[in-house]
Structures are given as C-alpha cells and as structure tokens.
Structure 1
Amino acid sequence: METSNRFLSRSEIIGFAVLAAVIFIVLPVALDTFRLNLFGKYLTYAFVAVGLVLCWGAGGILSLGQGVFFGLGGYCMAMFLKLEASTPENTAIQSTPGIPDFMDWNQLTALPAWWQPFNSLAFALLAVVAVPVIFAFIIGVAMFTRRVGGVYFAIITQAFAAILTILIIGQQGYTGGVNGITDLRTLLGWDIRTDEAKEILYYVNGVLLFAVLFAAQYVRKSKLGRLLIAMRDQEDRVRFSGYNVANFKIFVFCLGAAFAGIGGAMFTLQVGFMSPTLVGIVPSIEMVIFCAVGGRLSILGAVYGALVVNWAKTTFSESFPELWLLGLGGLFIAVVMAFPNGLAGVYAEHVAPRIAKLFNKSAGDDMPGAAKTPAE
C-alpha cells in the first residue's frame, strides 16, 4: 500500500514516464524541425505554469504578472547573446562599433555600465534566476508582510507587468524598445540558428523542465507543501498556530519567479529574440490560462495545459487569423466551466479509474488458484 508522503506514487511515476515519452520520443519522431521548435517554445511556457501550480494551486497566490519574471530571465540571456553578436568586427559599419545596434541607432557612444557584467555567460546564467527572484522578493515582502492577497495581489502584480512593459519600451536605447533584443546568433561561438542547434536546445529544454518538475514535486511532498495547502484553505488558522505565513508565501512566490526566469532564458535561446510583448499583461494572463486548462493542482497537468493551449493558439491563428483570440477564449471558458480542475481533473475523474479497474481486473484474472464457477 502506497502512502501519500512518498516522493512519487505509482500513478505519478507513470505520469512522469508518459510525459517523458511524449517530450523526448513522440514529438521528435512525429514533427519536423520547424514544428518541433514550436513545441520547444511551448515548453518554455510550461516552466511558468509549473510555478503557478505552486503559487496559485497550492498556496492560493494568484499572480497575474508572471510574464515579468519570464521576461526578466529572457532579457538577461538576450543581453549576453547580443553582446556576443556585437563584436567590433560584426558592427564595423556602426558609428560606434562594439555596442548593440539599437544603442548605436539611439546615439549611445559606449556600453552602459550595467550591461558590462553580461559579457560573462556565468553572470548571465546567475542573473537569469537571481534577477527574477530579487524582483519577486521585493514584491513579496512589500505585499505579504502587509497581508495583501487575493484579488488585490493579482491586480498589483498585473500593474507591475504593465509598468515594466512601459519601462522597457520607453528606454529604447538600453533595452531595444518595442522591438526588443533581436538578431541573436551564437552561444559561445555555437550558432543557435541552425536546425541542429534548435533540436539540441529542444532536448536541453526538456531536461531542464523535468528538473523543475522534480523540484516542484519535492516542495509539494514536503512539509512546506502541506503548509501551503493549509494556508490556502485556512490562512488564519496556520498563522495562529505560530507559523510566519508571509515568509512561506514569499518563498513560494520567489520559487515560481525562478522557474519563470529559466523558462524565459530558454525561450530566448529557442526562438532567438526577446521583446516586451512577452512581459506585459496579456502574456501574463495567458500563462494563468495554461495553468487553469491543465489543472492548477497538477504540475504535470500544467505542462500539458501549456502544450495544448499554445498548440490550439497556433492552429486557430493559422486557420482563422481574425478569430483565434475568440477561439482561445472559448477554449478557456469551456474547460473552466465543464472541467474546473482542468485536464488533470478529467484524467483523475474519468480516465484513471478505468485504467485502475482494467489493471485490477487483469491482475485478478491472472491470480493463480483463483476460484471459478462451474460455468466459467
């Protein structure tokens, strides 16, 4: 008999194995390089969705600003890649060679001091996680220590997403403005634009996603995970029991930001650019939709939600370019109304019982010495 505090139950082991087969075997075999790269982009959103399962599903913290952390991680990686592509040889036609092209267009004559550390890949990789976490820590301390939560917290995080978007667009000479940071070519001399590189990055993306999934599973199965659920359901009771609720909320909010930052960095590598359109209110709300459709209580469901919603978004936009937003909204409304626990809820309520019944029946038929009636 399996206990609930095991790191992975039998059904969860099967779930992880199926997801691994889908990501590492089925999709690479079934799709060409272009479509595989699209699904690699979809997987980068799954990092955000997994973080939202911990924040929203387990902790009851609905953040409508996860695009902020996704964008910060993506911009940190893009800054390193852009500096590597902006060598004096590659930018010889500029007025000031050796700086990114958008800085030259905006009449900057030297690389800003805060860009200098991003010449180091090690610093950039550290910043991919550290910058979103620091930003989330500041927001968390400001909000949770004052017991701001629920709808108010969601609106405030949405406001931060809008503010950061405006800031990035307004500081065009330092951030690339509305176009973002584009024309990213190499990673330590390795051309990331080739089909072979995109396939390799897809597999790296999948491996990192599973690392994030295992980290999220560890949190869910730990004492912290149980406290998060208790805080979601009865926050005052947890507080009266002597726990500092604000600290737990800050931690899980920062953890979700770290996951989103990693996803943003992988998006930059997979797609080859980063822009403010991925930071604002609309993408942040879409990320919540990924989590809701997949199931906000399931980390595996969140991954499937990101894949399904983005696949539907691509399909609708290709077939009905003027109606795809209505199709995406209709999909979200239909899932939430018919299946409030998302795809994971559909599986748990309708598919898993049938599979268990089938296995139990097979096991009963195979038992040696099983009593049979004369008719049998």
Structure 2
Amino acid sequence: MNPTLDKFLGGKQGAIGLAVLATLILVVFPLALDAFRLNMVGKYLTYAFVAVGLVLCWGYGGILSLGQGVFFGLGGYCMAMFLKLEASDPESTKIQSTPGIPDFMDWNQITELPLLWQPFHSFGFTLLAVIAVPVILALVIGVAMFKRRVGDVYFSIVTQAIALILTVLIIGQQGLTGGVNGITDLKTLMGWDIRDDSSKMILYFINAFLLFGCILIGRFILASKLGRLLMAMRDKEERVRFSGYDVASFKIFVFCVAAAFSAIGGAMFALQVGFMSPSFVGIVPSIEMVIFAAVGGRMSLLGAVYGALLVNYGKTYFSETFPELWLYLMGGLFIAVVMYFPNGLAGLWESHGRKWLGKLSRKPAPSKAPAPTAETPAATSQPRELETTP
C-alpha cells in the first residue's frame, strides 16, 4: 500500500474498519430508515465530530477537556446566525416593528442589526468563522494554560468554568443571541429549503462525508511523528520535554484541531436540526460528549463514532419507551460500560472480535497421512542432522 495512503487509512485493518463504518452510514442507514429516523442519525453523527476530536485530544494527547460543548456551540451559532439573517429578509419580517432583523431582536426593542451580526450576511465569511472563531478561542485557552504547564484535573476544571461562563453570557445577551431559546426557525441555505425530507437526506450525506474527512485527518496525524509524540507526552510528559520538544505547542495544536472538529459538528447540527441554543454549550452536554468517546473507546477514532451513535440511540430509545426511567437506564448503561468494558467498544472488539475472526479464518487441520505404500515409502524416523559450523 502507498505510504501516504497507508497513513490516511490506518493500514489494512484500518481500511477494513473504515469500509465497514462507511457501509453502515452511507448504505445501511439510508436504506433501512425513514426520513425522520435518518435525520436523527444525522444529528447523532454531528456529536461524533466532537468524539473524534476528543480521541485525539484526550485519548492520545492526555488532555481531558470538559468544555467541548463550547466549540460545538460556537460553530453552531456561527452557522445559525447566517441562516437566521437569510430567514429575516424585509419581506418575511414586514409585520415587525423593525423589518429586516431577527425576530428576537425586534422583541427586545433593538432597531438596528448589531455590528457583530453584519458580517454573517456573507456565506463565505460564515464558513470561515465556523472554524476560525472556535480555533482562536482554543488557541487563547491553550496558550494561557499549556504555556504555564496547567494540566490534568486543573485544565478540566478550567474548561468546565469556560463552558459555564459562555452559557451564562449567551442567555444574558438575549438581544444578540436569542437568550435561553436560542436561534430558531432556520429555513433556507442560500435560497435552498433545508426543511424538507430530500434536503435533510442531502445534508445527512454531506455530514457523513465531512465526518469521514475528519477521521482521515485524525489518522494522518496519529500516523505521523506528531502522533507518536502525543502518546509519549501522555505517558511521560517530562521525558519528552527534557528531550528538547516544545510540549506546550503540541498540546495547543491538538486542542485546536479538536475544537475545529467540534465546530464543524455544531455547524452541521444547526443545518440538520434547524436551531441552536445554549443547552448544547454548557457543562452537562460537554460531559456527555466525553462519554461518547469513552463508550466508543478513547483510543479509537472509529470507536468514537460508534460510541456517539450508541449513546444517543440509547437516549432516544429509553426516553421514548421508558419516559420516567430513561435517565436511570442511561446511567446503568454508562456504569456497565465502565465496569465491564473499560476500553469501550473498541476494546471489546480487540479482546473478543479479533479472536472470533481468527477462529473463522483459521485453516483446518491437515488430514491424517495415508499409510505408506510402494508409491509413497514411509518416512524414516531418524531426525535430520543439525547443521554444524566449521
């Protein structure tokens, strides 16, 4: 296999695993599920972006961020701002006191579009902002924390505090952000109605291809020298530092990559679901995102996707079937995974799946040799002479 291609695919086994996941997402789900359920799976896959980033950041880099909902929310809000402006044209908002601005601004007696919103009339600027805004924030946090060697549980607490601060800020600035209700009633993308079933199907496939792109980028990073350094930093950070490497810069880089992945997921969430609210930014959703990676296996990029699908399907199924008990059932699921499968679904595959496949692929034992005949003389029982050196 081509060395460059091998880095992207993760070798033969990685290519097989990627093909299985692609078949499941791109073929099985679209054929087996109706439009409503398929859109729900698409929503689950937007969380998988965050889980894939956490595998890089936490699983390999040893950086446990409990604030990834911040970057997910920022990406979603950037996309939602563009969509909301498109849905707030003067004709659609002519009944408002001030036509041409979002409805929640009119309710809050704002008479002019704020300066912060004006660049989001441009779709190109919006795409740039979806990535740039979360990455810039991650860069600021990373420089402030890692350059001062703040890590482990202290970094996790700081990211939780940032998630709480941003949630309070979004809710408090109701005239700018829509407050606790968020930005809702998103209808079109550059004139294309995103609410009908065919549009949601197209967005599902766009979402899936972007997710596979992030997985390939993650595999390329892990297959490079940087990936080996990340694992070394996770296990023996001081040894890597004494070897002359700038540990802080590597941590900042992988933290920014995880933030970018999360932001892409947030933007796709706003497109597929049609709204964005502060309920996806706070501490609780950020911890849930860590659970997605833990259930799938924090050392497996593909496992993170399966973890996001399984946990979110469990939430949906339990809440629909057992509306009064679903929280307890979800808690039991997490406890069971931690107790019996500490390495997640990927660890379960490593310990049992490969063994099972090995048994299936094992060649049958050779049949008993026939009795010697005149045509097949019996082999002598004398051992072969050992080779001797002069």
Q: Normalised by the size of structure 1, how large is the TM-score?
A: 0.95
Shift of 1:373: 1.8
Counterpart amino acid of 1:171?
Answer: Q
In structure 2, what is the equivalent of residue 305 of structure 1?
Answer: 307
Distance in 2 (CA, whole Å) between partners of 1:68 and 1:74 is 10
1:291 and 2:286 matched:
no
**Partner of 1:374 in structure 2?**
369
How far residue 319 of structure 1 moved from its aligned partner, in angstroms, is: 1.3
Structure-2 residue corresponding to 1:194: 196
Match of 1:357 in 2: 359
In the other structure, the counterpart of 2:54 is 52
Is the Cα contact below 8 Å between 1:2 and 1:9 reproduced in 2?
no
Distance 2:352 2:319 in 1: 31
Name 1:263's counterpart in structure 2. Answer: 265
Could you tell me how far 1:2 is from its partner in structure 2?
A: 12
* 1:185 aligns to 2:196 (yes or no): no
Check whether the contact 1:294–1:303 (CA below 8 A) recurs between aligned residues.
yes
Kept in 2, the 8 Å contact 1:47–1:262? The answer is yes
- The question of 1:149 aligning with 2:151 is answered yes
Range moving further from structure 2, 313-322 or 124-133: 313-322
Per-residue deviation at 1:326? Answer: 1.6
Which among 133, 136, 139 is matched to residue 138 of structure 2? 136
Which residue identity does 1:264 align to in structure 2? G
CA distance in 1, matches of 2:183, 2:303: 32
Query: Is 1:91 the counterpart of 2:62 in the alignment?
Result: no
Conservation of the 8 A alpha-carbon contact between 1:291 and 1:302: yes
Aligned-partner Cα distance in 2 for 1:312–1:174:
35
Q: Report the equivalent of 1:248.
A: 250
Following superposition, the deviation at residue 321 of structure 1 comes to: 1.7
Corresponding residue for residue 226 of structure 1: 228
Match for residue 125 of structure 2 among 123, 126, 132: 123
Aligned partner of 1:323 in structure 2 is 325
How far has the Cα of 1:150 moved from its partner?
Answer: 0.6
Secondary structure, aligned partner of 1:113: coil
**Post-superposition CA distance 1:48-87 (Å, at most 9, x none):** 0000000000000000000000000000000000000000
- The offset of 1:227, in angstroms, is 0.2
Q: 2:172 aligns with which of 170, 195, 201?
A: 170
Residues 30-49 of structure 1, C-alpha deviations (whole Å, 9 max, x = no match):
11000000000000000000
Counterpart residue number, 2:385? none
1:25 pairs, out of 13, 24, 27, with 27
3-state DSSP of counterpart to 1:193? coil
The root-mean-square deviation of aligned C-alpha atoms, in Å, is 1.7
Q: Distance in 2 between matches of 1:352 and 1:22?
A: 19
Cα distance in structure 1, aligned partners of 2:156 and 2:235: 18
1:191-243 residue CA offsets vs partner (Å, 9 max, x unmatched): 00001100110010000000000000001101000000000000000000000
Pick one of 347, 350, 360 that aligns with 2:349. 347
The residue that corresponds to 2:18 in the other structure is 16
Paired AA for residue 58 in structure 2: W
State the 1:360 CA deviation.
Answer: 3.7
C-alpha separation in 2, matches of 1:317 and 1:60:
33
Gaps in structure 2 of 5+ consecutive residues: 372-390
Q: TM-score, normalised by structure 2?
A: 0.92
Cα distance in structure 1, aligned partners of 2:192 and 2:166 = 31
Structure 2: distance between partners of 1:79 and 1:53: 29
- Report the identity percentage: 70
Residue number in structure 1 paired with 2:375: none
- Partners of 2:12 and 2:119 lie apart in 1 by 46
List structure 1 runs of 4+ shifted beyond 4 angstroms: none
Greater radius of gyration (CA)? 2
Looking at structure 1, the residues matched to 121 and 324 of structure 2 have their Cα atoms a distance apart, in angstroms, of 42
Partners of 1:232 and 1:38 lie apart in 2 by: 35
Q: CA deviation at 1:11?
A: 1.2
Distance 1:152 1:6 in 2: 37
Aligned position for 2:208: 206
- In structure 2, the residue matched to 1:41 is 43
- Distance, in Å, in 1 between the alignment partners of 2:167 and 2:237 is 33
Change (3 A) 1:2 1:77: closer
Measure, in 2, the Cα distance between the counterparts of 1:227 and 1:374: 54
Indicate the residue corresponding to 2:111 in structure 1: 109
Bigger shift: residues 80-89 or 326-335: 326-335
Which residue of 62, 65, 88 corresponds with 1:63? 65
Amino acid at match of 2:136: I
Answer whether contact 1:73 1:261 (CA < 8 A) is retained: yes
Aligned length: 368
8 A Cα contact 1:219 1:225, kept in partner = yes
